[in-house]
Amino acid sequence: MMLLKNRKSWHIAENQVTPERLYLSRRQIMQGFGLGLGAALAGPLFRAGAAYALPNFGIAKKTNYAGDEELNSYKDITSYNNFYEFGVEKSDPAKYAHALITDPWPVEVTGHAERTGTYSLEDLIDFNALEERIYRLRCVEAWSMVIPWVGVPLAGILKKFEPTSKAKFVRFETLANRAQMPGLRSRVLDWPYREGLRMDEAMHPLAFMAVGLYGKPLLGQNGAPMRLVVPWKYGFKSIKSIVSINFVENQPQTSWEMQNPSWYGFYSNVNPNVSRQRWSQGRERRIGDFFKRKTLMFNGYGDQVASLYAGMDLAKYF
């Protein structure tokens, strides 16, 4: 694994990295429990906050998809969150997500694919090929952040299961555990949280499965142990704490679309020209800034993704 030589301020010092022998021994311990559902039954080794024994991990490749925009601080990113399973206030996830048990983490794969079943996190994520990608995150409430995510391309994960020609969409679900997630007691959404992408969207090179940020494993409030990042769409499409991947033929129902279809469409591409009743989408406030800025079509990723929607009415299919 090739590590970055020219380190930026957000990278950790080499003397803070877990020694390779400890890393390898940890993987052997996990393999000893077995893969998939067997690992789930073995009992959690590391419960609090992050999914891995490693306090930090190496990054093989770094790409900045946000230009010269300033990164939000680690504090911003981990303390101002939407994760309704832990409460509707922005501070609730950081307050309550410490109860989230993230290791082991079984993920059920179903539907139109040659390989289905229950898999462990390490079955899905190649931890020797982690990338850091700096993306903008745009929320429908007209706030935004710039975040250095760590993870792997979503396409690489999905291809492992060899989806068939009937797989036109991929549907995801978030964990719904009332003992760990106090927000599930509310009726703000129909639980569990569901999201979906068209298959060509899911296979697009920008779609990313994150397991960390700022060179550290994800905390519970940010969607540990793995969450989707779809940077050209509104943030609610980037589903957190994924426990189910389902390859389906028909367009799946998604949680916010079910809650209010006039506000939240299936595609949810960032389109400043489509406003919700409560928030104008024309301008946004970067967390930490005082003044608002103009919202960019496709969150600034139009050059990469606009071709996916050629000929579509993006005011109708929003």
- How is the chain split into domains, by residue range? 14-135+146-272
* 136 or 19: which leads in pLDDT: 136
Q: How many residues does the chain have?
A: 318
- Region 118-134 average pLDDT: 94
* 31 or 33: which leads in pLDDT: 31
243 within 8 A of 107, measured Cβ to Cβ:
yes
What is the pairing mode between strands 143-153 and 131-139? Answer: antiparallel
Residue with tokens 């229950």: 118
Q: Sign of dihedral through CA atoms 173, 177, 213, 94?
A: positive
78 within 8 A of 221, measured Cβ to Cβ:
yes
- Region 53-69 average pLDDT: 82
Token pair listed for 222:
């940010």
Tell me which DSSP letter residue 234 carries.
B
- Region 276-291 average pLDDT: 87
What does the angle CA 66 – CA 136 – CA 157 come to, to the nearest 5 degrees? 100
* Rg, Å, the chain Cα set: 19
Confidence band for 46, pLDDT divided at 50, 70 and 90: very low
Residue 51: pLDDT over 90: no
Residue 73 has a CB neighbour count (10 Å cut-off) of 14
Tell me which DSSP letter residue 72 carries.
P
Element (H, E) at 285: strand 283-286
Residue 290: pLDDT over 70: yes
- Region 213-221 average pLDDT: 95
* 54 or 134: which leads in pLDDT: 134
* 255 or 51: which leads in pLDDT: 255
- Region 93-121 average pLDDT: 96
Q: Which fold has domain 14-135+146-272?
A: Sulfite Oxidase; Chain A, domain 2 (3.90.420)
171 within 8 A of 252, measured Cβ to Cβ:
yes
Q: Which of 105, 114, 206 lies closest to 160 in space, CA to CA?
A: 114
Looking at residue 56, its pLDDT comes to 57
Residue 257 has a CB neighbour count (10 Å cut-off) of 21
Q: What is the distance between the alpha carbons of residues 193 and 195, in angstroms, rounded to a whole number?
A: 7
What does the angle CA 145 – CA 150 – CA 151 come to, to the nearest 5 degrees? 125
Q: What is the distance between the alpha carbons of residues 136 and 154, in angstroms, rounded to a whole number?
A: 17
Residue 59 identity: I
Q: What percent of the chain has pLDDT over 90?
A: 74
Looking at residue 89, its pLDDT comes to 97
Confidence band for 213, pLDDT divided at 50, 70 and 90: very high
Residue 146: pLDDT over 70: yes
User: Model confidence over 253-269: pLDDT tens digits?
Assistant: 999 999 999 889 999 99
Q: What is the distance between the alpha carbons of residues 254 and 247, in angstroms, rounded to a whole number?
A: 14
Residue 235: pLDDT over 90: yes
Residue 106: pLDDT over 80: yes
